[in-house]
Amino acid sequence: MEYLDLTSLRKSLDSLSEAIDSVSDTEFMESLSEQQCRLIKAGVIQNFEFTYEASWKMLKRQLVLQEGGADVNLLSRKDLYRLGAQKGLIDAPEKWFEYHRARNETSHTYDQKKSEFVYQLTLTFLPSVKYLLNALEKSNS
């Protein structure tokens, strides 16, 4: 049986978690200037971007292993998330639809309101990625 190398997903998840821990430290954030706070939040968003990319790619690889490449490779992103939920790899496909929309927003334009929206969504993304990683680790064992 083939196993996934989850190293990149673990590392990106660890980095995202550290970034979120930093912004969650009220004392630390209050000691920074407004510009520094924006830069820290931008770092959180960047961590979200590469963690999201690693996440959906690992999900797809696992589904290819389970279901066969031809069928999975033809799926839209929404259908990929629906199948991932059916297989118990992610908890709620609707959340992942929202993460995908947020990721697209970050790659096409910079807008302070959109940036704040993505930042807030990132805080809810962490448990979803942990769920996925846990499910992938179980599939590997």
Question: What HEC string does 87-119 produce?
Answer: CCCCCCHHHHHHHHHHHHHHHHCCCHHHHHHHH
pLDDT band for 92, please (50, 70, 90 cuts): very high
Q: Give the mean pLDDT of 3-9.
A: 94
Of 38, 61, 77, 103, the active-site residue reads 103
Task: State how far the Cα of 119 lies from the Cα of 79, in Å rounded to an integer.
Answer: 25
Of 65, 68, 86, nearest to 6 (Cα)? Answer: 65
| Domain 7-140 is found in CATH 1.20.120.330 | yes
Task: State how far the Cα of 11 lies from the Cα of 76, in Å rounded to an integer.
Answer: 27
State the CB neighbour count (10 A cutoff) for residue 9. 22
Answer positive or negative: Cα dihedral of 69, 47, 116, 133: positive
Q: Give the mean pLDDT of 58-84.
A: 91
Answer for the pair 10, 133: CB distance below 8 angstroms, yes or no: yes
- CB-neighbour burial class of residue 127 (10 A; exposed 0-12, middle 13-18, buried 19+): exposed
Question: Is 103 among the catalytic positions?
Answer: yes
Answer for the pair 83, 67: CB distance below 8 angstroms, yes or no: yes
Of 82, 100, 101, 108, the active-site residue reads 108
Q: What percent of the chain has pLDDT over 90?
A: 72
Question: Is 10 among the catalytic positions?
Answer: no
Q: Which of 4-18, 20-34, 67-81, 108-122 has the lowest mean pLDDT?
A: 108-122
Beta-carbon contacts of 94 under 8 Å, excluding residues fewer than 6 positions away, are: none
| Predicted pLDDT of residue 60 | 95
